[in-house]
Structure 1
Amino acid sequence: MVGPTLTEISAAAAALEDAIIRTPVLPLSASRWERILPDCASVTLKLELFQQTGSFKARGALLGIRNLTADQRAAGVVAASGGNHALAVAWAARQAGVDALITMPRATDPERIAGCEALGATVQLYDDMAGAFTAMNTAAEGGRVMMHPFEAAHMILGAATCGQEYQSQAPDIDTFVIPVGGGGLISGMACAIKQTNPIAQVIGVEPFGADSMYRSLEAGMPLRLEQVDTIADSLGSPLAMPMSFGIAQAHVDRVVRIDDGEMLHAMAHYQTNLRITAEPACAASLAAILGPLRDELAGRHVGIIACGSNISLARYAALMEAS
């Protein structure tokens, strides 16, 4: 078995039950969606943005920190992130009484920085993400435990609990459309989904400007991009990595790409129809079924996910105005 087994996933879900929210699912069947959605048998949305700290990342981060040894807890943890992972690690560390250092780019949305500090984490700012990752590596060499945003067994297992949960809530879904950043979410969810329903389709979604998983699956090995260019900072991983890539390769049917304009269009639909202020990554699944997947979904029961939304009103307004 490539990736966690159903037994391992169920055990992880039970271990998280005291702290993690079983996020709701919503059938997009209201009349306001009729002329917007493709001609599917049904479209169901999992509202994972209502998870602790606003994203699925809380699941894996809490698993990882709870599994630390006593010596590791005493040393503290470090994570480099400009978004949802930073908030998740800060929250999970606070839950466990562990000191957390978060290294972030200066351009990070100020609301995310403030959120990490409010959770008790120490935040250090650097000129760019490369500088933040260098600082994280230095802190890890000094003894702190590195909390990688996706290339870690606990992050994939946390995402798998989300996949298992989604299937139990909406067992009729036969096509899952899942955003791809580094690959932790889709590898974990796909691993859980395919073990329960091997004939279900799992389709990933990446921005054209950050399509490392698409290119890696095409090449048959993990690749690094020369540059990242997308408004979806939560999907902006410059590379695929061996563990998450290997699980995705085993369980994901394919990956499609969308442009930034399609995400902005989907963000507007969420605001108009559900009053959800979605960050670009949160709208990626919807953008894919309205765009490149639209014509092939007729008659299918489709599941999409609002994977997280930590965006300030100022940033949201700036994106929508620019569009």
Structure 2
Amino acid sequence: MVDITDIEAAAERIAGHVLRTPTVPSPGLSALLGVPVTAKLELLQRGGSFKVRGAASKLLAMTDAERAAGVVAVSGGNHAIGVAVMAGALGVAATVVMPKSAPARAAAAARRAGADVRLTEDMASAFALMDQLQLDGLTLLHPFADPVVLAGQGTVGLEFGQDAGELTDVLVSIGGGALISGVAVALHAQRPGIRVWGVETEGAQAMTDALAAGGPVTTTLTSSVSTLCAPTVSQLTYDHVSTVVEEVLLVSDSDAMQGTLDLADHAKVWAEPAAGCLLPAARRVLDRIGPDARLGLVVCGGNIATADVLRTSGTPS
């Protein structure tokens, strides 16, 4: 298990390489949900998501030989961008493997940052190619099965705990689970008694399935929220979530898309559906715990085009 000292060490390691993103009260979301809401705006991070934190943490912890070999990563979108941005900044060759279903703008952003982008038919074959490229000699930079990456993502929670006012409950979306694992560890260390809730979309429910099975299992991916579509979680993230997270909530793709539009209307931020899914989940949390809640939302990324959301949500563009 990663602990707060690991996250604090990651924060020192990546300082100067990533942004300390804003933590702000949201009057619009507070009015919408009926309780005070504070948002951690990780969509304003370099590369448009929190992913550069874990990438920087891992790249800076590698040996010279590991960096010289070049790195390989697999991604549904944001990890590819994060690895490409940080590898480019540090002069490390990066190969990122992505399914064809990943947003085209994410693949283009990774290429612009200097990465060699390999596209595969689906996420399962993307992970398989990643494994093969690692066997061929590239250094693996895994999105969620590495404690150094997890500690880097946990710096989001470290900053949130330091910068926010009163919080009772924090919601974090889950793909492979490194972000929520690190955030929960950091917040619990700083604010004992706080509750951290995970959110997945139906058809991208690798953590929900793992919790039901008692460990990581392979999940059939059908969600349109590609940045949450990990085919399985890792033992590392399962161990953290099963220990330090209150519960994982499932929401529909359509509710996640509507959440993105609600974030634009009420919070005045353009976030991807991987963050939009937090709003329908927040309403369910409030139904359980009542009106005395003080909510925190980790707005994890903003790498989606307006046309993509409008088309998927059925809204005329």
TM-score range, shorter chain: over 0.9
Counterpart mapping for 1:256-295 below 5 A? 256-290=249-283, 292-295=284-287
5+ long unaligned stretches in structure 2 = none
3-state secondary structure, aligned to 1:103: strand
- Distance in 2, Cα, partners of 1:241 & 1:313: 32
Counterpart mapping for 1:122-201 below 5 A? 122-201=116-195
Match of residue 8 from structure 1: 6
**How far does residue 171 in structure 1 lie from its aligned partner after superposition?**
4.1
**Is 1:251 equivalent to 2:244 in the alignment?**
yes
Contact 2:10 2:148 in 1 (8 A): no
**How far does residue 135 in structure 1 lie from its aligned partner after superposition?**
1.8
- Distance in 2, Cα, partners of 1:87 & 1:21: 15
Contact 1:61 1:154 in 2 (8 A): no
**How far does residue 312 in structure 1 lie from its aligned partner after superposition?**
2.5
**How far does residue 207 in structure 1 lie from its aligned partner after superposition?**
1.2
Match of residue 21 from structure 2: 23
Match of residue 312 from structure 2: 319
Give the partner amino acid of 2:24.
Answer: L
Contact 1:57 1:155 in 2 (8 A): no
3-state secondary structure, aligned to 2:156: helix
Give the direction of change, closer, same or farther, for the CA distance of 1:132–1:216 in structure 2 (3 Å limit).
Answer: closer
Give the partner amino acid of 1:19.
Answer: H
**How far does residue 322 in structure 1 lie from its aligned partner after superposition?**
5.9
- Give RMSD over aligned pairs: 1.7
Match of residue 226 from structure 2: 233
Contact 2:176 2:207 in 1 (8 A): yes
Q: Which of 85, 88, 91 is the aligned partner of 2:82?
A: 88
Contact 1:173 1:302 in 2 (8 A): yes
- Distance in 2, Cα, partners of 1:206 & 1:295: 18
Contact 1:78 1:146 in 2 (8 A): yes
Match of residue 67 from structure 1: 61
3-state secondary structure, aligned to 1:123: strand
3-state secondary structure, aligned to 1:78: strand
- Distance in 2, Cα, partners of 1:97 & 1:15: 17
**Is 1:310 equivalent to 2:309 in the alignment?**
no
- Distance in 2, Cα, partners of 1:170 & 1:277: 21
5+ long unaligned stretches in structure 1 = none
Give the direction of change, closer, same or farther, for the CA distance of 1:112–1:144 in structure 2 (3 Å limit).
Answer: same
- Distance in 1, Cα, partners of 2:267 & 2:180: 24
Instruction: Output the TM-score relative to the length of structure 2.
Output: 0.94
- Residues 96-148 of structure 1: per-residue CA shift (max 9 Å, x gap): 11000111222332211110111011112222222222221111111001111
- Distance in 1, Cα, partners of 2:26 & 2:165: 16
Match of residue 200 from structure 2: 206
- Distance in 1, Cα, partners of 2:269 & 2:22: 14
How many pairs align? 315
- Distance in 2, Cα, partners of 1:98 & 1:88: 13
Moved over 6 A (4+): none
3-state secondary structure, aligned to 1:204: strand
**How far does residue 310 in structure 1 lie from its aligned partner after superposition?**
0.9
**How far does residue 84 in structure 1 lie from its aligned partner after superposition?**
0.2
3-state secondary structure, aligned to 2:233: coil
**How far does residue 222 in structure 1 lie from its aligned partner after superposition?**
2.2
3-state secondary structure, aligned to 1:230: coil
- Distance in 1, Cα, partners of 2:248 & 2:124: 26
